Amino acid sequence: MKAIDDVVEYFSRLPGIGKKTAIRLAYFLLSHDEKLAQGLANSLQHLHECISTCPICGSYSEGEYCNFCDNTSRDKSIICVVERQQELLNFSELLEYRGLFHVLGGVISPLDGIGPEQLSIPALIKRVQTGEVKEVIIATNPTVEGDTTALYLQKILKEFPITITRLASGIPVGGDLEYADKLTLARSLRGRITF
């Protein structure tokens, strides 16, 4: 049936959802009240209409600025640099960190055709140039690409009078910050070292 096949095909494109899970989701939606499927469709349609990117840090926002950049109680002298929005969410739930964030939008990966110019590095430099920032925490994943990106950031930021730190060990090498538990993230933040 083409209608089910179409839904399965779209669900299969989502990360972590294989064909069997996509089929299960399609049949679940078909067997339940139509309001559930309609609500899902409406919320997906409004997702791109309502959510934009914060012009300061690159985080997602429903207003002009994100909840972090717009929050006057956060420490504006510290910026935690993450690869993607998902890592930002993990750090934002920690009581140990009250600073701001910067989302790079990925990592340097020449094999994938991603260089520094594809990342939001110029926006980070602009933020550091204001003189308000005293520390930049580089919180890229402990992978080859994450380490390459961290080294690149360290090289271009060392000309500024700031402290550059990298997350301490505790995050497994080759691991992904998106899946790290809060205790590991908290320990990594407390044990960060000068880079």
Per-residue model confidence as pLDDT tens digits over 38-51: 999 899 998 888 99
Q: What is the pLDDT of residue 175?
A: 74
Contact 186, 94 (CB under 8 A): yes
High-pLDDT (> 90) share of the chain, %: 63
Q: What is the pLDDT of residue 81?
A: 97
Exposure letters 69-102 (e unless 16+ CB within 10 A, then b): beeeebeeebbbbbbbbebbebbbebeebebbbb
Instruction: For the full predicted model, state whether its pTM sits above 0.85.
Output: no
Which residue positions in the chain have pLDDT lower than 70?
169-173, 187
Locate the DSSP E strands across 57-179. 60-61, 75-82, 99-103, 135-138, 163-166
